[in-house]
Structure 1
């Protein structure tokens, strides 16, 4: 179920939105919904990324286990080349 929400836009932004809507043959409403949807999705992914990074940092602080940047680069290069290789072993 959708509920109405109002958004106050200054005249310049409203005019730009109307122009974009006309050029895309969409309604201003559709463009605003699409923009908000994309923004929320991007920010949710960013939240997960930051949470994962914090968890990884805390794990490293507890254990000291890591791989070097060179090890990671080599592994990723192998994957990019199409080789199905296991990730490097973590060490202290």
Structure 2
């Protein structure tokens, strides 16, 4: 699918300079920029959806971890004593 975008001369020049410095085509630079943007925005949307689902679940069940419990668990990450996720409670 071919798509075109309009960019101003200043941005076009910046892309062309960067492409020259990177020994890449302007097309490659633009594709990389768009890919990185889309991946970042998809991750952001996924995070928002997860947070919303977690909040909904908490409101329905009241099950949770305290900040102390979560911090203690996270402090084990990357250690020989890495712990499993604690069970949520009321």
TM-score by length of 2: 0.92
Please show how residues 2-13 of structure 1 align to structure 2 within 5 Å: 3-13=1-11
Q: 1:82 to 1:39 in 2, by over 3 A?
A: farther
**Contiguous gaps of at least 5 residues in structure 1:** none
- Per the alignment, residue 52 of structure 2 pairs with 54
Deviations 1:39-73 (A, max 9, x none): 11111111111111100000000000100111111
Q: Which aligned runs of 4 or more in structure 1 are off by greater than 4 angstroms?
A: none
Q: 2:16 matched to 1:18?
A: yes
Structure 2 gaps of 5+ residues are: none
Query: TM-score if structure 1 supplies the norm length?
Result: 0.90
Distance in 2, Cα, partners of 1:49 & 1:69: 19
**Could you list the per-position Cα deviations for residues 12-34 of structure 1 after superposition, in whole angstroms to 9, with x for gaps in the alignment?**
11110110000000000000011
